[in-house]
């Protein structure tokens, strides 16, 4: 299994899509699940079609990274304001 780095550019896109969904009424408590779903979808369709093991791993990594990127930056900004 060869893991490439080009999928990392999808992480900010996932964050942006989740933020748009929340702005249009998507429940905030389900935002991490939406991130995972988008990560899996991107992995299965774009990054590793036909390679389910690699797609599951990369989808999980992208979804969880998107959640961490958002919460980490939110906590940093909140800490700077204090």
Is residue 14 assigned to a domain?
no
Is residue 22 assigned to a domain?
no
Is residue 63 assigned to a domain?
yes
Is the separation of the CB atoms in 22 and 15 below 8 Å?
A: no
pTM to 2 decimal places: 0.81
Q: Give residue 52's domain range.
A: 30-82
- In angstroms, the Cα distances linking 46 to 27, 76, 77 are 27, 32, 32
Task: Return the closest-CA partner of residue 62 out of 24, 82, 32.
Answer: 32
C-alpha–C-alpha distance, residues 27 and 72, integer Å: 20
Give the pLDDT mean for 1-10: 71
pLDDT of residue 26: 95
Q: How many domains does the chain have?
A: 1
pLDDT of residue 2: 59
Is residue 64 assigned to a domain?
yes
C-alpha–C-alpha distance, residues 43 and 37, integer Å: 10
Of the two residues 9 and 18, the one the predictor is more confident about is 18
Is residue 9 assigned to a domain?
no
Is residue 66 assigned to a domain?
yes
pLDDT tens digits, residue range 18-48?
999 999 999 999 999 999 999 999 999 998 8
């Amino acid at each position: 299994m060869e893991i490439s780095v080009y999928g990392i550019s999808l992480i900010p896109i996932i964050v942006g899509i989740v933020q748009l969904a929340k702005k249009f009424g998507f429940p905030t408590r389900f935002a991490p699940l939406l991130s995972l779903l988008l990560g899996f979808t991107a992995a299965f369709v774009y990054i590793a079609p036909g390679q389910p093991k690699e797609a599951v791993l990369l989808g999980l990594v992208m979804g969880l990274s998107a959640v961490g990127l958002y919460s980490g930056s939110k906590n940093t900004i909140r800490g700077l304001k204090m």
